Amino acid sequence: MRLIYLSMTIFLFTNCQSLNKKIDSLRNQIVQIISDKQAIVGVSIIGTNDKDTVSINGDKRFPMQSVFKFHIALAVLAEIDKGNLFLDKIIEIKKEDLLPEDFWSPLRDENPNGGSFTIEKLIQYSVSHSDNTACDVLIRLVGTPKTVEAYIKKSGINDIEITFNEEEMQANWENMFKNWTTPKAASETLKKFYENKNNLLSERSYDFFWKTNKETTTGANRIKGQLPEETVVAHKTGWSGTNKKTGVTAAVNNIGIVFIPDGEYFIISVFVSESKENFDTNEKIIADVAKAAYDYYTTLSK
Point out the residues that are catalytic.
66, 166
* 184: in domain: yes
* 29: in domain: no
Q: Show the low-confidence residues of the chain (pLDDT under 70).
A: 1-21, 49-52, 301-302
Domain that includes residue 123, residue range: 37-300
Quick one: which of 282, 281, 288, 169 has its CA closest to 225? 288
* 83: in domain: yes
pTM of model > 0.85:
yes
Please tell me the distance from the alpha carbon of residue 267 to that of residue 269, in angstroms, as a whole number: 7
* 156: in domain: yes
* 139: in domain: yes
* 10: in domain: no
* 9: in domain: no
- Nearest-5° Cα angle at 254, 251 to 259: 170
Structural domain total, the chain: 1
Quick one: which of 120, 121, 128, 105 has its CA closest to 213? 128
Residue 4 confidence (pLDDT): 47
* 1: in domain: no
Per-residue pLDDT of 116-172, as tens digits, reads 999 999 999 999 999 999 999 999 999 999 999 999 999 999 999 999 999 999 999
The CATH number covering residue 60 comes to 3.40.710.10
Percent above pLDDT 70 for the chain: 91
From residue 160, alpha-carbon distances to 141, 155, 188 in Å are 21, 12, 11
